[in-house]
Amino acid sequence: QVHLQESGPGLVKPSETLSLTCTVSGGSVSSGGFYWSWIRQSPGKGLEWIGYIYYTGNTNNNPSLKSRVTISVDTSKNEFSLKMDSVTAADTAVYYCARMGQHLVRGCFDIWGQGTLVTVSS
């Protein structure tokens, strides 16, 4: 059974970089057909898809976050990561990693991590 676990600092200062890692267990991030995603949830904006990465390194990010987001994958560690630059209070949210696959229907998220709260504050 595939399990996802987010890790990273819970507090980030404004203008700095948010960095989170999602460790995949019970399966391989290199499995074809799965896209490894980041999603966040804040009271103000609800659920917001941030972006995804395929094990080959191909990515697709939400244009609303422009070029602030970088998603990377480390197949040797079976994990993928999120970096978000120049954070503001508006980036305060619970961040989830999730698996998206074609095996059910394109673009649905069938496995989620438990989520991690990131607060942007000085």
Partner 1 sequence: DIQMTQSPSSLSASVGDRITITCRASQSVSSYLNWYQQKPGKAPKLLIYGVSSLQSGVPSRFSGSGSGTDFTLTISSLQPEDFATYYCQQSYSPPWTFGQGTKVEIK
Whether residue 86 contacts residue 12, with contact meaning beta carbons closer than 8 Å, is answered with: no
Whether residue 42 contacts residue 93, with contact meaning beta carbons closer than 8 Å, is answered with: yes
CA-CA distance, 22 to 30, in Å (whole number)? Answer: 14
In the complex, the residues that contact partner 1 under the rule CB under 8 A are 46-49, 60, 62-64, 96, 98, 104-110, 112-115
Nearer to partner 1, 79 or 95 (CB): 95
Q: How far is the CB of 122 from partner 1 (least distance, A)?
A: 27
Nearer to partner 1, 44 or 88 (CB): 44
The structure tokens listed for 77 are 């560690």
Q: How far is the CB of 72 from partner 1 (least distance, A)?
A: 19
